[in-house]
Chains A and B, each alone.
Chain A
Amino acid sequence: MKFAIQVNEGPYQHQAADSAYFFAKAALEKGHEVFRVFFYHDGVNNSTRLTTPPQDDRNIVERWAELAEQYDLDMVVCVAAAQRRGVVDEGEAQRNGKDSTNIDPRFRISGLGQLVEAAIQSDRLVVFGD
């Protein structure tokens, strides 16, 4: 089956970010396809490479990034939600006159059309959040 996954909550604050990761990982390990993981609302905060959790805790950002590398997973962060919350890549920093970036390069920033497209292209859209 082909899944699209939407993550609506930030890391550590809410289990949704963990559940989405475990769902994606399990689906991929079972041989299913994950068309795209789309990060929306506070979910965009799952993509900041500046995250530094205590050493005895999971690193949610790194965990996503490693999954993406292993399975060539497309992880998209909503641009409008990212702008509101200060999640920035090189292009956004230049466009909006910001002095730094914080996104992990294994995520990419793009528009909401990517979410709608993923819902159209996939057999199931699975939403994680309240």
Chain B
Amino acid sequence: MADAEVAERLVAPPAAPVAAAGRAGTLAGELQAEATHALAQAGLQPAVTRPRRKINWLIVTGGVILALVLGLTLAAPMLAPYHPAEQRARERLQGPSRAHPMGTDRLGRDIYSRVLYGGQTSLSASSIALGVTLTIGVALGLLAGYAGGWVDGAIMRLVDVLLAFPSFILALIVAGLYGPGLLKVVLAATAVWWVSYARVTRSLVLQAKQEGYVQAARAAGARPLSIAVREVLPQILGPIVVLATLNLGRLILTLSGLSFLGMGAQPPTAEWGLMLSEGKAYFMEFQHMMVFPGLMIFVTVLGLTLLGEGLRDVLDPNGAAGRA
């Protein structure tokens, strides 16, 4: 599949790094140089080398979309005309109007306000899930890759077992048995999702171990932990950042899906998946209840996907993140 990734890049050559300043810039440069080298070794022509740095439109578009979503969400207290839980019995089930730009729901709550506040719930839950999975996955991947031996074996067997588990089913069952709730769903998701980071990190560490700088550090007498964290980790961050960005989108889809099933966020919380499920009962007559929350999920995940793929061109030209 590495060949395939490379090929895709050959056809649509990646734009050169744009906003990557400082350390990230040099890292990206190095990785790109490595990719070119690898391509040459594989007997392929390197991707079109561009004399001038070109704007990566994937990053720009994705970044702008995300900034908009994030801005709307964070500024919810200022932008929202109503409190997200405020019920106005007389204004129930209204279509979009001047007073209620996105209409109202069955309890007379303003959907526009709830969509804004709902972003806070959806985004923070997904971010927490991402943070925890990232930490566990990268730590275990580093450990497995660097320690090797039985430690590696044990961790990778655990990964094999978890991969055989249908992850969505697991989250569903945990949420169902331990009681619904956003936090529980997040925990259940993290129990499975770290696997992809562990695999990517491990394979990158195994590669890095062969590199001169690691051997130099070892010869200089640095301790294994220090080598793993201070030498190897910064070198392999690029693909992990890419994977994390793309995974955040998938996490948002998963968590809002669980909320849609009634297993995640509970009423009266404003959360996009939950709002959609509330709108489901009325979608025959009042489509506005399900259109807007769904649109927000879609736009957010779209932004993250664009950003992630743009970053991949810059930070992960070998497509390591895609081999998760």
Whether A associates with B in a native complex is no
Interface residues of A (CB under 8 A from B): none
